[in-house]
Structure 1
Amino acid sequence: MTIYRATVSRVRPLTDTMVRITFAGDDVPAFVSTGVDDEYVRLFFPHGADRRELSLPVSSGSGWETPEGRPTAPVRTFTVRAARPEAAEIDIDFVLHDDGIAGPWAAAARPGDPLGLNAPTGLYDPPADLARQFLVCDLTGLPALARILENTPQGVVTRAVVEVPDERSVQPLPAHPRAKVTWTYGGNGHGPSRLAELVTAAVPPHAELAGTYIWVAGETTALRSVRKHLRKTLALPTERFKVVGYWAPGGESWSARYKALPADVKAELAALWDDPQGDLEDVTITYEEQLTRLGL
């Protein structure tokens, strides 16, 4: 896995809660876009107070490792809003918030700030007979949703529902002749997420779903019941939907609580993925049910 080095070339506020940062650099032309609308990359941030001091890991097979004696770069995952390899640029939209690594970094970003990133991976994968799609997300899913709308074929009917903190977070989205976008306020760390409720309302039991694809992205824990609704209640085949967890409330404390689990419990959870029996979405549901029982 190659880690590329890029630098901030432009910073553009989009709303009170989101900023678009354009990255450029000699390595960026080597960045190969998958062409998939919700492709994501891992971003490697400066490890300390000096924004210009970047300790990038090196490739290690399919992963990466930090050279001995070097500090470890914090890593976060983000959606690529736009990729322009021919111009040696990519755009990434950041949600602004005070917690963690990425939000405060983005709020203070200036041209010349360095960052590391790897090659992208895409998830949005509608079937060949796509005639209609439901897109539901919170604020973190907006960059992917916008890119999906940009590239949706003209004849596809699209129903999009977006949960943002408040009206200050609403932003213009690409126009599509057969798309309807509904904005709703709440969730996003400012209150309980309504993503599960929104998906159930948009795609109720016994809905006619021939030629339909469903894409849902946002708060990870809120999407557990969404995945069960789509897979178990609606009995959808996995090629008809994609559920993508982008973030978790108190992500740092969640990781600490997971690491504190007894070794045998962590081994049991890991064993679900060692030799998965059945469809991976079903395995994911089992895994998430166990996490819920553990209070995670």
Structure 2
Amino acid sequence: MPEESLEHLDWSAPVVRTTRVTPNMQRITLVGGDLGRFESSGRPDERLLLAFPPDGAEKRSYTVRRWNPDALEMDIDFAVHAGGAAAQWAARAQPGESLGFSTASGWYAPPADAAWQLLIADMTALPAVGRIVEELPGTARVHVIAEVTTRGDRQEFATAAAQTTTWLHGSGNGTGDSLLAEAARDWVRPDAPGYVWFAGEAKVSRVVRRWLRHELGWPADRYDVIGYWRDNKEEWVARYETVREQIEAARDSALAAGHDFDSVRDAVDAALDRTGL
């Protein structure tokens, strides 16, 4: 999951409403409090760091599903699943509780000449997809590939854009192997300049990024690929500690060689692959 600034986590806002959007998606609506200090990044996939009650010790990054600055009202959607203190809190949250939050950042940035967009997401990124699609103009052409827990977790998004969707059910999302990368490869891309946005499990993000950057040879401004979470994180972290020096050496070598950000990321991804991570 991308690192977020811990700045301003003393900000908080009260929960005023909870809504079960689909069987495995819970919406928490915040109103007032310190939301008057919140400054949107202006990007529809913007994420902020949340500090969960009662003591704020549990911190996780989540998408701003909807932001109304006039009413100081914010929706945050949570993929509800077994385990995970944040998801458990969201499933039980009641009006009157207070949620800490930070400033926001986002990645979505299609080039001006993009004639089409491909948005690829699992349940954790579906809130960002919803906001992106809803804010697209009528001139936009977008295809969504979404991997959800059950058929009941499909969502309809009101949009002026020309939108099509491929739904995948019962794969990924911590229940098994993801089919997102395979589905993205199989989708027939229009013969025109485009843009791809992916967000989901970290290892799947490496597969998608490798496909775009190395197999298709796309420049970095044609895609944004973000790892939102990591499957079996505790096990992964334990294994990472045993090979940390190898990963950091690969990173430092690329930095010392003066490589750009994407080349440094290539070096780190290759080292993770070599170590089985």
* SS in structure 1 of the partner of residue 104 of structure 2: coil
Number of the residue aligned with 1:113: 97
Q: Distance in 2 between matches of 1:293 and 1:189?
A: 23
Partner Cα separation in structure 2 for residue 17 and residue 286 of structure 1: 36
Change in Cα spacing, 1:45 to 1:274, as seen in structure 2 (3 Å) is farther
CA distance in 1, matches of 2:99, 2:256: 36
**Whose helix proportion is higher, 1 or 2?**
2
The alignment partner of 2:156 has SS state of: coil
Look up the match of 2:3. Answer: none
Does 2:174 match 1:189?
yes
Distance 1:275 1:21, change over 3 A: farther
How far has the Cα of 1:213 moved from its partner?
A: 0.9
* Cα distance in 2, alignment partners of residues 284 and 272 from structure 1: 12
Deviation at 1:209, TM superposition (A): 4.0
In the other structure, the counterpart of 2:55 is: 54
Match for residue 46 of structure 2?
39
Q: 1:189 Cα deviation (Å)?
A: 1.3
Normalising by structure 1, what TM-score? 0.84
Q: Does the Cα contact within 8 Å between 1:227 and 1:285 map onto a contact in 2?
A: no
Measured in 2, the distance between the counterparts of 1:202 and 1:278 equals 32
For the Cα contact (< 8 Å) 2:118–2:195, is it kept in 1? yes
Q: How does 1:143-292 map onto structure 2 within 5 Å?
A: 143-185=127-169, 186-202=171-187, 208-210=191-193, 212-258=194-240, 260-261=241-242, 264-265=245-246, 267-271=248-252, 275=256, 277-292=258-273
**How high is the TM-score relative to the length of structure 2?**
0.90
Q: CA deviation at 1:99?
A: 1.3
Deviation at 1:147, TM superposition (A): 0.7
Unaligned runs of 5+ in 1: 47-52, 56-72
8 A contact 1:146–1:173 mirrored in 2: yes
Counterpart CA distance in 2 for 1:222 and 1:266 is 19
Segments ≥4 residues shifted beyond 6 Å: none
* CA RMSD, Structure 1 to Structure 2 (Å): 2.0
For the residue of structure 1 that corresponds to 2:134, the secondary structure is: helix
Could you tell me how far apart the structure 1 residues matched to 2:254 and 2:90 are?
34
Quote how far apart the aligned CAs of 1:136 are: 1.2
Aligned mate of 1:131, from 108, 115, 133: 115
| Helix, strand or coil at the partner of 1:119 | strand
In the comparison of the two structures, how many residue pairs are matched?
269
Q: Deviation of residue 281 (structure 1)?
A: 2.4
Task: Return the offset for 1:183.
Answer: 1.0
CA contact (8 A) 1:39 1:120 kept: yes
What is the aligned-residue identity percentage? 38
Gaps of 5+ in 2: 1-6
Question: Could you tell me which amino acid in structure 2 is paired with residue 54 of structure 1?
Answer: D
Q: What is the 5 A alignment of 1:68-107? A: 73-107=57-91
Q: Write the distance in 1 (CA, Å) between the matches of 2:81 and 2:101.
A: 21
